[in-house]
Amino acid sequence: GLGGAPRIVWSAIRRIDWRAWAREWLPVIVIFAFGLAIRVWDVGDYMLYLIDELHWTDGVLHLEWTPFRPLITPMSGQSPYTWIYSYWQAGAVQIFDHNLFALRLPSAIVGALNLLAVYGLARAIGDRRLALLSMIVVAVLPSHVQFSRIALNQIADALFGTLGLMFIARGLRDNQRADWAAGGVGIGMTQYFYEGGRLLFPPLAAVWLIVMIIVTRGRLRRQWGGIVIAALAAIVIALPVYAGIIGQDKPLFGRFDDMGNSEGLRSRLADGLQIEDIEQHFSHTLTTVWAYIAHRDLAVYYGGDEPLVVGWLVPLFLFGVFYTLWRIPAPLLIIPLWIAATSGGVSLLRDTLFSARYAVVLPALGIAVAVGLRYWLPLIIPEAPRARLSARFTRGVVYSAAGVIVVTCVVYYFAVHIPILNAQTRYQKGYHDGLEAAHRIVTVPGGTQPYLIGSPEHDQNVPRNFVGYLALQNGENPGRYLPLLSVALDVITPRFLAELPRDINYVFFVEASANETLLMIYDSFPEAHAPTYTPYNHIPADRAYVMVFAPSQFGVSMEQSQ
């Protein structure tokens, strides 16, 4: 409606130049399909560990238990965003069952759609070659691939933020009312997911437009009407979110309230603004730049040993940022603004080296690398030799370099990054991998009491809730397992085991090195099955539990139950 309801001319379809259409869109379709494939491939099994994804398994279960839950209300205090992303995940779970593949599939699809938005944005602020290179780089950028393969809603911020900026860029270029309206819708949709997108994209779009108006010295007067339309569309789309928050008397920015560095800022400013305060905050802000180019993730969302822009792409990235600044007042200015705004926002948080904070800027990082790739060759070849080179040769070198980037990034992600990440997630805490045990618990008969036994004692809530999610596979009754219990090694004694009722099954997950505990279990349960070990090769052997299944006195075996 705000776009003016442009008339659809169906007869124009017959006049389409299909050859020109194929030249424009077939490469886009191929890159999109490739990007989707590497995001979907093995997405359910490559990591059986939950990377802060329990909120989303719980969200799916809540929607299944209460299907008329209001979607545009905050999920919880720890997750103060709407239920929309969980609703998408619940739909995937209905189709593909209660497993990690279904839970993560919406992220893979949203991440792949982000490639189309990146193409559109780069096409609007640059040319077709830059758009294709941007799409290629983001398709294989390991940090973007990772956030497209875990069940977190940050990747939706990147999608709708990129879409909003893409249509605004088209509005600046063509001044079409429909583009301005769609840009406002995209910015408004960033309010429905993670709080990073809510706080970043509206002010980023506003600052970009203000700077463009200033640096173009009034040449955007014809666009004023479109800017108003975009702002109105963003407000209309975003209003339901804030109505839900205010209606439930929740804080507007709950995650920022929890993770922000407001106390530190207040203490610095208690005696007035001093030069030391400025230096300290500058140093804190500088660590956000490290996250882009020099420092690994400390929170193991992205993980690995590389920064968000892997080391061999850093020179291209730095040149791309320089080039976009050099081209002011071109619309390419949005890229350094996007990166700087993210750094400024993250600098207000306590922890600046947690990769989840940067999911909103990953498309900009990829486009900056593509800018470096697109424009580095004409600058480094001397003028006279370049005049003798054909444009085809120059393009060939650039696209060959893009092919090298594709191969190296894909090989690095699947052959190097994922094994490192699998180890990091399991060594970051003292206890063994209880989530891997959860996958094995749901293979034993119903009426079984699971125990995690180790030192230190495993947190029981996360694996217990995860069992509740997995236990719904194949339409099974989720209550067929007794609540998982976690105990320390020294709790397991002959007396403790002797006092356990014998009318139910037990499955004990014991640290592999706890031989005395295993012997006590077999002394108390002589009918217990032989110990079994993790079937997953990518899990470090010293972080997996040994499983011992002890059937009840009625002799129900695992084979009979299956």
Burial per residue of 436-450, b for 16 or more beta-carbon CB atoms within 10 angstroms, e otherwise:
bbbbbbbebbbbbbb
pTM of the model: 0.91
Half-sphere exposure of 32 (CA within 13 A, CB side): 16
136 vs 308: CA distance, rounded Å: 16
Q: Coil, strand or helix: which one is 454?
A: strand
List the beta strands (DSSP E) in 51-105: none
Phi, psi at residue 44, to the nearest 5°?
-85, -20
Lowest mean pLDDT among 63-77, 439-453, 526-540: 63-77
**Are 103 and 57 a contacting pair, CB within 8 Å?**
yes
Strand 505-511 to strand 545-550: parallel, antiparallel, or no bridges (unpaired)? Answer: antiparallel
264: pLDDT strictly greater than 90: no
DSSP per-residue codes, 378-421? HHHS-HHHHHHS-HHHHHHHHHHHHHHHHHHHHHIIIIIIHHHH
Predicted confidence (pLDDT) per residue in 389-414, tens digit:
667 777 888 899 999 999 999 999 99
What pLDDT is stored for residue 383 in this prediction?
Answer: 58
Q: Give the residue from 377, 335, 412 showing the smallest Cα distance to 145.
A: 412
201 vs 15: CA distance, rounded Å: 38
What pLDDT is stored for residue 560 in this prediction?
Answer: 44
Half-sphere exposure of 514 (CA within 13 A, CB side): 28
Mean confidence (pLDDT) of the chain: 88
Predicted confidence (pLDDT) per residue in 42-95, tens digit:
999 888 889 889 889 999 999 998 888 888 888 876 667 899 999 999 999 999
% of residues, the chain, pLDDT over 90: 60
Residue type, 244: G
Band (pLDDT 50/70/90 cuts) for residue 561 is very low
559: pLDDT strictly greater than 50: no
Predicted confidence (pLDDT) per residue in 277-291, tens digit:
677 778 888 889 999
